[in-house]
Amino acid sequence: MRFADKLVLKRQRHLKWRALDVLELILMILCGLLLFGFCTTVMFDIVTRTIGRPWLWLQEVTQTFFIYAIFIGTAVATRRNDHLYLTAVSEAMHGKPRLVAEIIIRLVVLGVACCLVWFGYLNFLRGFGSFRMPSLTPIASLYAAIPLAGLLVALFTVEQLVNGCRNGFDHPEPPDEPLAITPIAAAPGSRSLT
């Protein structure tokens, strides 16, 4: 079996949780929309202040876009192993030490996710006593992003633990194929630059 076939087979084994692939795609689209909304509201805030007619509620909307983009982005980055993941330590190892290191790293991430859920939920409940100005919306609307992100990070971390324990955490990158550059033949009668 060729190396590329082994990689495809290993990748297919890791894609058993197709629903989480769809969830990741939805969250990525949502992150893009939140980022677009954040940039747009900042631009409108600058423009309206410059012309002397500020829309005060824009700062609240901008904060909401920013906070939700950060926490949802954290969950997506966890699924992609781009965030909350200590790659330098684990990638230097192979075999049993790597398995132990990967499990410990993911258990730490799972602990952080549980803290996000628990303490984020407590902050969410307390947020109903404070209000944002000028809309008087409870600040709990912002705090709701924290336990939501914690749940998503925990879900993605459990997926990684299950897949890693079943199939191993070592995912070698495919080797770079040599790039063949074909020489260009000069046309008959043309002058050479050399």
Average of pLDDT values for 150-172?
A: 84
**Is 176 within the bounds of a domain?**
no
User: Average pLDDT of the chain?
Assistant: 82
Whole domain around residue 157: which residue ranges?
17-167
pLDDT higher than threshold 50 for residue 189:
yes
**Domains: count for the chain:** 1
In sequence order, the 6+-apart residues with CB closer than 8 A to the CB of 93 are: 101
**Is 179 within the bounds of a domain?**
no
Helix ranges (H only) for 51-182 are 58-79, 87-91, 96-126, 140-143, 145-167
Under 8 Å between Cβ of 162 and 5: no
pLDDT higher than threshold 50 for residue 7:
no
Neighbour count for residue 37 (Cβ, 10 Å): 17
pLDDT higher than threshold 90 for residue 144:
yes
Helix (H, G, I), strand (E, B) or coil at 138: strand
**Is 175 within the bounds of a domain?**
no
